[in-house]
Amino acid sequence: MRILDKDTIILNVNGESVELKSGSTIADALEHTDSPHNPGTSVGILKVSEEYRKEEVTSYRIITSKGEVEIELNDLEKYSVQTWVQLFKKFEGKRVRWLSRDAVAFGSVSADISIEREPASFDKFDVLFGAGGYDTDNTHLIICRQKHTGEYGQPRDGAFGRVVSGKNILMGLDKGDEIIEIKPVIKWEHAGNSIFTSDLTTRLEHDDQVFSFIGVEMSPNAPYGVKHFFTLVKNGIFKVDATASAYICDRRLQGEKCRYENFEPRIQGSVSVRTAGYGTGKVFISRTDMPATIMHSVIGHVKEGIELVKMARPGHRLTVLTVPDQIMLSGMSLHEARESLLESGVKIIVEGYESDDAVVVEQRPETTIDILGGSEVIVKTIPSSNLVKIRLYDDLAPKSIDYFRSSVGLKFNRVGTMKADMIYDTTYIFDPEKDLKIHKEIFPENTPSKIIHSGDIGITNQASKRMGTIGIKIEDDDLFGPTGEKFANTNIIGKVLEPHKLKNLKEGDFMYIVEMPDMGEDDVSGK
Q: Are residues 362 and 295 in the same domain?
A: no
State the total domains in the chain. Answer: 5
Grade residue 343 by pLDDT with cuts at 50, 70 and 90.
confident
Mean pLDDT rounded to a whole number for the chain = 90
Grade residue 77 by pLDDT with cuts at 50, 70 and 90.
confident
Global confidence as pTM? 0.76
Q: Are residues 255 and 268 in the same domain?
A: yes
- pLDDT of 524 > 60? The answer is no
Q: Are residues 315 and 349 in the same domain?
A: no
pLDDT digits (tens, 9 = 90+) for 247-276: 999 999 998 999 999 999 999 999 999 999
User: Can you tell me the mean pLDDT for 271-297?
Assistant: 94
Cα–Cα distance, 428 to 73 (Å, whole number): 70
User: Can you tell me the mean pLDDT for 141-169?
Assistant: 92
Q: Are residues 135 and 148 in the same domain?
A: yes
Grade residue 4 by pLDDT with cuts at 50, 70 and 90.
low
Q: Are residues 154 and 111 in the same domain?
A: yes
Q: Is residue 66 part of a domain?
A: no
User: Can you tell me the mean pLDDT for 330-341?
Assistant: 95
User: Can you tell me the mean pLDDT for 70-99?
Assistant: 90
Indicate which CATH number applies to the domain containing 273. Answer: 2.40.100.10
pLDDT digits (tens, 9 = 90+) for 455-514: 999 999 999 988 999 999 999 999 999 999 999 999 999 999 999 999 989 999 999 999
Indicate which CATH number applies to the domain containing 22. Answer: 3.10.20
Q: Is residue 276 part of a domain?
A: yes
E-strand ranges in 281-394 read: 283-286, 296-304, 317-323, 347-352, 358-364, 376-383, 388-392
What are the respective helix, strand and coil percentages of the chain, to the nearest 5? 20, 35, 45
- pLDDT value of position 522: 40
Q: Is residue 177 part of a domain?
A: yes
Range with the lowest mean pLDDT among 25-34, 78-87, 467-476? 78-87
Close Cβ partners of 24 (under 8 Å, ≥ 6 residues apart): 9, 11, 203, 204
- pLDDT value of position 431: 80
Q: Is residue 520 part of a domain?
A: no
Q: Which residue has the higher pLDDT, 241 or 188?
A: 241
User: Can you tell me the mean pLDDT for 197-216?
Assistant: 94
Q: Is residue 63 part of a domain?
A: no
Q: Which residue has the higher pLDDT, 410 or 1?
A: 410
Q: Is residue 462 part of a domain?
A: yes
Grade residue 527 by pLDDT with cuts at 50, 70 and 90.
very low
Q: Are residues 377 and 422 in the same domain?
A: no
Grade residue 298 by pLDDT with cuts at 50, 70 and 90.
very high
Q: What is the sign, positive or negative, of the torsion defined by CA atoms of 493, 499, 505, 507?
A: positive
Q: Which residue has the higher pLDDT, 56 or 445?
A: 445
Q: Are residues 463 and 450 in the same domain?
A: yes
Q: Are residues 290 and 181 in the same domain?
A: no
Cα–Cα distance, 87 to 69 (Å, whole number): 18
- pLDDT of 306 > 70? The answer is yes
Q: Are residues 404 and 460 in the same domain?
A: yes
- For the beta sheet containing 179-185, the strands, ordered from the edge strand earlier in sequence to the opposite edge, are 96-99, 103-109, 139-144, 126-131, 161-165, 68-73, 59-64, 179-185
- pLDDT value of position 436: 61
Helix and strand totals (H; E) in the chain: 10, 33
Q: Are residues 124 and 162 in the same domain?
A: yes
Q: Is residue 403 part of a domain?
A: yes
Q: Is residue 527 part of a domain?
A: no
Q: Are residues 424 and 443 in the same domain?
A: yes
pLDDT digits (tens, 9 = 90+) for 159-175: 999 998 888 899 999 99
Which structural domain, as residue segments, surrounds residue 142? 71-185
- pLDDT value of position 17: 85
Grade residue 186 by pLDDT with cuts at 50, 70 and 90.
low
- pLDDT of 193 > 80? The answer is no
Q: Are residues 491 and 416 in the same domain?
A: yes
User: Can you tell me the mean pLDDT for 329-342?
Assistant: 95
